[in-house]
Amino acid sequence: MTRNLIHGAALTLLLSACGSVDPQLVTRPADAPPFEADRTELVAAGEVLWKDANLGTSGLACEGCHVNGAQFKSTFKEAYPHKVAMAKSMADLESIDASQMVQFCMIVPMKAEPLPWSSRELAALTAYVEDVEQKSFQSK
Ligand code: HEC
């Protein structure tokens, strides 16, 4: 447990030291509404992407860092939008929603382009994060 906590703090420091993120890259354009589909289908598609080590270029899946709620901080228990330390320190954003947080982790730890804002992929990962990962973290 202690080792995990130290690892988490070190990882956050490392990611924050890697530079800054243009807040525009994690801000939804007005002309790009979220993709809409049946919520259950989106969550199921999101779970597949969550486990996909080829989604970014870092060789890590989202789950690779976040297995069993690892790396999440207490802010993840709060309803979105909320403040996230990494988004504040790297993009100077005071508050971020779930789809923006997916984009943030795509750009920084996954070392990838942000997903298209109206893509099924972004809607699916966002739905999975909110309905599965956040609910499970809130109950810890
Ligand atoms: C290299 C490790 C790493 C990978 C891979 C990673 N993340 Fe993260 N993620 C983090 C860290 C570190 C934080 C904590 C940031 C903070 O609270 O300041 C975080 C936080 C989050 C949060 C919660 C922020 C909050 O408090 O609301 C979400 C949601 C999230 N990540 C989604 C994803 C998704 C989706 C992917 C895959 C596309 C992903 N992460 C891949 C390291 C990672």
d(CA 138, CA 133): 9
d(CA 104, CA 109): 8
Pocket (CB within 6 angstroms of ligand 1): 11-12, 15, 55, 60, 62, 64-66, 71-73, 75-76, 84-86, 101-102, 105-106, 109-110, 125, 129
| Phi, psi angle pair for 72, to nearest 5° | -70, 145
Instruction: Write down the pLDDT at residue 1.
Output: 42
Pick the closest to residue 128 from 55, 27, 50 (CA basis).
50
Average pLDDT over residues 96-120: 97
Which residue, by CA, sits nearest to atom 7 of ligand 1?
105
- Write down the mean pLDDT value for the chain: 91
Q: Would you kindly state where each structural domain of the chain is located, as residue ranges?
A: 2-22+33-138
Instruction: Write down the pLDDT at residue 15.
Output: 58
Q: How far is the CA of 77 from the centre of ligand 1 (A)?
A: 13
- Tell me the pLDDT tens digit for each residue of 84-102: 999 999 999 999 999 999 9
pTM for the model stands at 0.91
Q: Are 41 and 94 in contact (CB under 8 A)?
A: no
Average pLDDT over residues 16-33: 87
- Checking if the pLDDT of 128 tops 70, the result is yes
Say which CATH class 2-22+33-138 falls into: mainly alpha
Long-range contacts at 15-18 (CB < 8 A, ≥ 24 apart): 15/86, 15/90, 15/108, 15/109, 16/86, 16/89, 16/90, 18/108
The pLDDT confidence band at residue 14, using thresholds 50, 70 and 90, is: low
Region of 9 (left: φ > 0; alpha: ψ -120 to 50; beta: rest) is alpha
- Tell me the pLDDT tens digit for each residue of 36-71: 999 999 999 999 999 999 999 999 999 999 999 999
